Structure 1
């Protein structure tokens, strides 16, 4: 039976980035990266809106996103032939002055040292002329937000993992897992393997993997998020527009390959599945965007949905449960997995091998307890 030091379940952005960091730290180390689908990233990674914003997410997410920027700006040689980030900017808009939502954006900017420039409604409309003046009361610009090359980032991590000796297997759903006190026996369609540590990077299926392994679940909540492509408004050059995000979280839209990518920022509870866009959510998106902007919608050229998986506090779950040290969570990355992937993967690799956080992450105020699965189990 083939033996591995570490077996990672799930080859989306989480599993791929962690595998790459482990391979960088110890090339040739026996690591298995098992993906249930025919190609990695099918369910969530490949359906991302591809926006890097340090101000998008809670305090822990913002720190990890900010700590990932250096990697994106200067990836390792051969990681990608093209830039991973390209300028976009994000315009946060609000329908009332001094709202809690705007205050939270300001606090995130202060905490991470990120520029968040206050704009008058008129200045915001000069940047995005289709914004209606009525519901626009306050605006903040994050000028350093970027578009991300999601495919390039994901494939770069997979290539780096494989170059470091990681055994990547597709069409390899985990069928059973048993622990004998020192080693896992993991059953896949092509037979069993053994592993010293089992890493649960299974995205929306992470609680199911935990149940299979006999480990307490963390209360993972897969939430469906809808997106669609709309024709651009006639008579406007949209290419330099920033992304527009409602600070209260009811919609966002941004230029994307000559079209407008829009979402109602919905969070509909869903079982783990191949999520599909719902007609009602499409209609809600159109209504919310049109209430904020003069964007005629003659047709929806394409729509899709993905699952964003959270626990109650909306921070990632990374680390081993106290009572199950051979099992390692790397899950609950929500809709932020790609933008914080380099830093979170460093966190995972450091906790796996040394039980501590990288110094820069710890210095930024994130603690092991902030990420530990034990926080999800209560008293």
Structure 2
């Protein structure tokens, strides 16, 4: 691979690495690879980041995704903070008395990790919290994350280093011959020895179009609503999550509240849209937690989150020249710096400098038996 890539504006061409997907996974990987290789990003939509990336709930939490994801999240923290993409928020995990076992298990999961967790009185953090919510666990490191800024940063960094970003260029088919992938798209034919599958909810679809065995990446719909409440979210309100997984909410600018029922509805890859029943469920669960009055639903949307069968992301070569960068669930943005570092190192044949991160945990080889 070359050390000094030259920008190719698209319309076909030869590259060292072709990345299918321009969301946060593809953009961050392109930025990491571009100083060392000729890279093209093939985005199926007219704008990168239209689906999962553009519809994120926009918070960074070291416990989100569980212990298997935490090392990637923690390893990403410094880059995100130094880049100015994080803003202090804090997270409060709340529960009722019936959730005491789940709360104890949650604390135990992260007991030997670097994540700071502290049992607290939840009412001291959330004004208007109903009396039966008696369990509170404070996660001070949780932060807002500037998703749009981070995604734009990676795209700009990749472009400056010579990456071609081609839109309306979804992979229609691909075949490998003599160590090269020939990739057909509406924007032309692209040739590269390495094809990266960073297609999010469409990852298995792309694999099949390339003649590669799918892993079993499944997309799920998640609903978000923006609410106007009375009273408005109190000053200093943190991100608040039901420890039983029934909802989460967080304050937004303008005195608004973002709320999700924490749903995961199996779906085909699509341009996701919210269902009225899921919006109603979210509001009902919120009203069971706080005594605020809902004055209006100002906005509602849904996004797709895609998981491998074991709910860990997949980074690595499964077949010659075909690299998986998929299955990031809802934590692809908060892990992007470390995940891109890991994936780029594997593609370039180098050792990733990520203390605490075990690449084998995310390797596609763990699915070899199940996909035969």
Q: Does 1:360 align with 2:354?
A: yes
Q: Which residue of 1 aligns with 2:114?
A: 113
Q: Which residue of 1 aligns with 2:31?
A: 20
Q: Does 1:131 align with 2:129?
A: yes
Contact 2:229 2:295 in 1 (8 A): no
Q: Does 1:244 align with 2:245?
A: no
Query: Equivalent residues in 2 for 1:21-100 (5 A)?
Result: 21-24=32-35, 26=36, 29-75=37-83, 83-96=84-97, 99-100=100-101
Structure 1 unmatched runs, 5+ = 76-82
- Secondary structure of the corresponding residue to residue 238 of structure 1: coil
Contact 1:58 1:314 in 2 (8 A): no
Q: Does 1:11 align with 2:22?
A: yes
Q: Would the alpha carbon gap of residues 104 and 360 (structure 1) be closer, same or farther in structure 2, given more than 3 Å must change?
A: farther
Q: Which residue of 2 aligns with 1:158?
A: 155
- How far off is 1:176 after superposition? 1.2
- Secondary structure of the corresponding residue to residue 59 of structure 1: coil
Q: Which residue of 1 aligns with 2:366?
A: 375
- How far off is 1:59 after superposition? 1.7
Contact 1:90 1:242 in 2 (8 A): yes
Residue by residue over 1:177-222, the C-alpha shift from the partner in whole angstroms, topping out at 9 and shown as x without a partner, is 0111400000111321210100000000000000011111111110
TM-score, normalised by the number of residues in structure 2: 0.93
Structure 2 unmatched runs, 5+ = 1-11
Q: Would the alpha carbon gap of residues 197 and 67 (structure 1) be closer, same or farther in structure 2, given more than 3 Å must change?
A: same
Query: In 1, distance between residues paired with 2:173 and 2:215?
Result: 19
- How far off is 1:233 after superposition? 2.5
| CA RMSD across the alignment | 1.5
- How far off is 1:174 after superposition? 1.1
- Secondary structure of the corresponding residue to residue 19 of structure 1: helix
Q: Would the alpha carbon gap of residues 312 and 100 (structure 1) be closer, same or farther in structure 2, given more than 3 Å must change?
A: farther
Query: Equivalent residues in 2 for 1:209-288 (5 A)?
Result: 209-234=206-231, 238-257=234-253, 258-288=255-285
Query: In 2, distance between residues paired with 1:377 and 1:268?
Result: 27
TM-score, normalised by the number of residues in structure 1: 0.91
Query: In 2, distance between residues paired with 1:161 and 1:92?
Result: 37
Contact 2:200 2:327 in 1 (8 A): yes
